[in-house]
Each structure stands twice: as structure tokens, then as C-alpha cells.
């Protein structure tokens, strides 16, 4: 059992990267080689489990339910980058704990550069996925504000487009707004009185009798003297 475990155990990527035969490879070349090595290992289930556990950790803090196919690939790459960074941090810590020799300085410098690049890649992928707390909170607040403003605008437009405005033709005072189920029905009539007190103290007392068909024909108003806004 022990021999089988040793045979199929996955070596540390950082440890393999530091080997002499791989030091001259670019990161892209090494990543491709590493991928082939991982794929070639029969028992890579634990590696896949680590990735899934990391994705599950993300799901605890962020909503990942609406991710598209490309987003899911980016999420997997993000999880792998986090795992690789964790492995490199552990490797770097162990090296420092054991004592860094002069021959290790160049390798440690490269590892630190890889870790810095990984942190930048992680930040970029988080921005691309919009799962950073700052972005998600900002988007949510902005989205809610836009939604409410759009809702108010549509409600205002609906009200203005469906209501009829009845004005006093003498003093241009709005007497009421009304909605008709059948505005083109010529028999629909409405009668209102203006009770506005004029400057001389007398009541206007103007009677307004208007039909819905007339209002409809006159763009929703009964008088040409109404404010321009309501025409």
C-alpha cells in the first residue's frame, strides 16, 4: 500500500520547477509540461478534489450560480492559481525554516517572482469574474439604484400616458386627473367645478363638462391654456 501511494503521489509543482533541467524553461513551457505530467498520473483525483474544495470555498462567500461556460473555466483557473500559490508559500516557508543556502537564492528569487505573478493573475481573474467583495457590492448597489430609477421613470411615463387632465379654462387650475377604461366612448362625460378663490375673494365656480373622446382627441387635456408640460 505504501509503495502504491508513493508511486502515484503527485510531486510538488514548485519542487519540480526548481530542478535543474526545468530552470531554463519559460513559465508557459513549464506549465504545459507540468500539465502533461499531471494528466499522465493515473491517480489525480486528489488534485481535482483540491480544486473542487477551493471552488466550494468561493461559493460560500460569493454567488457563483449565474456563471457562464467561460466564467467556469476562469473560476477553475482561479482555484488552481490559489492552490499553486498556497503550495509555493508552504515550500518557501519550509525552505526558510530549513535555512536558505547560497545555492538556493536564485531559485527562491524565481519562486517569489512566480508568487507575485500568481497574485496579480488571481486579482485579475477575480475582477473578470466580478466576485471581489468590492465589485459585487458596488454592482449590486448600482444595479438596485438603476432599477428603482428606471421603475419610477416607467411609472411616471405610464401615468402621464394613460391619465387625462381636466383644467379650469378660466384660471388654468388642475381640477383632476381621470382614467377611462374606454376613452373613445362618446357617451363618457365628466363634470367638475372650480372652487378656486380669486384675488377679489370670489369663488371661480366655473363648471367644466368634458367627454373622454374629446380629451383623447386633444392629447389628454381639455383646454389649450394648460401648461406646456401637459400638452
> Is-above-0.85 flag for pTM?
no
Are the CB atoms for 167 and 173 separated by under 8 Å? yes
pLDDT band at 10 (very low <50, low <70, confident <90, very high): low
**pLDDT, tens digit, for every residue of 111-145?**
888 888 999 999 888 888 876 554 555 555 666 77
Domain ranges of the chain: 2-131, 163-230
Q: What is the pLDDT of residue 209?
A: 92
CA atoms within 13 Å, Cβ hemisphere of 75: 23
**pLDDT, tens digit, for every residue of 48-58?**
888 888 888 88
**pLDDT, tens digit, for every residue of 179-225?**
888 888 889 999 999 999 888 888 999 999 999 888 888 888 887 65
**pLDDT, tens digit, for every residue of 148-164?**
788 888 877 776 667 88
Amino acid at each position: 500500500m505504501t509503495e502504491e501511494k508513493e508511486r502515484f503521489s503527485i510531486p510538488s509543482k514548485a519542487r519540480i520547477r526548481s530542478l535543474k533541467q526545468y530552470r531554463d524553461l519559460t513559465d508557459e513551457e513549464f506549465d504545459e509540461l507540468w500539465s502533461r505530467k499531471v494528466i499522465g498520473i493515473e491517480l489525480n483525483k486528489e488534485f481535482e478534489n483540491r480544486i473542487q474544495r477551493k471552488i466550494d470555498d468561493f461559493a460560500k462567500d460569493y454567488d457563483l450560480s449565474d456563471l457562464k461556460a467561460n466564467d467556469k473555466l476562469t473560476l477553475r483557473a482561479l482555484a488552481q492559481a490559489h492552490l499553486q500559490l498556497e503550495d509555493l508559500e508552504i515550500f518557501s516557508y519550509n525552505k526558510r525554516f530549513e535555512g536558505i543556502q547560497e545555492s538556493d537564492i536564485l531559485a527562491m528569487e524565481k519562486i517569489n517572482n512566480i508568487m507575485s505573478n500568481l497574485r496579480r493573475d488571481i486579482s485579475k481573474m477575480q475582477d473578470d469574474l466580478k466576485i471581489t467583495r468590492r465589485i459585487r457590492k458596488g454592482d449590486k448597489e448600482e444595479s438596485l439604484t438603476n432599477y428603482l430609477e428606471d421603475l419610477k421613470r416607467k411609472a411616471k411615463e405610464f401615468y402621464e400616458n394613460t391619465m387625462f387632465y381636466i383644467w379650469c379654462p378660466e384660471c388654468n387650475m388642475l381640477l383632476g386627473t381621470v382614467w377611462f377604461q374606454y376613452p373613445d366612448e362618446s357617451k363618457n362625460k365628466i363634470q367638475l367645478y372650480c372652487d378656486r378663490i380669486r384675488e377679489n375673494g370670489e369663488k371661480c365656480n366655473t363648471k367644466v363638462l368634458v367627454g373622454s373622446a374629446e380629451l383623447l382627441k386633444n392629447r389628454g387635456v381639455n383646454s389649450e391654456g394648460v401648461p406646456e408640460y401637459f400638452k
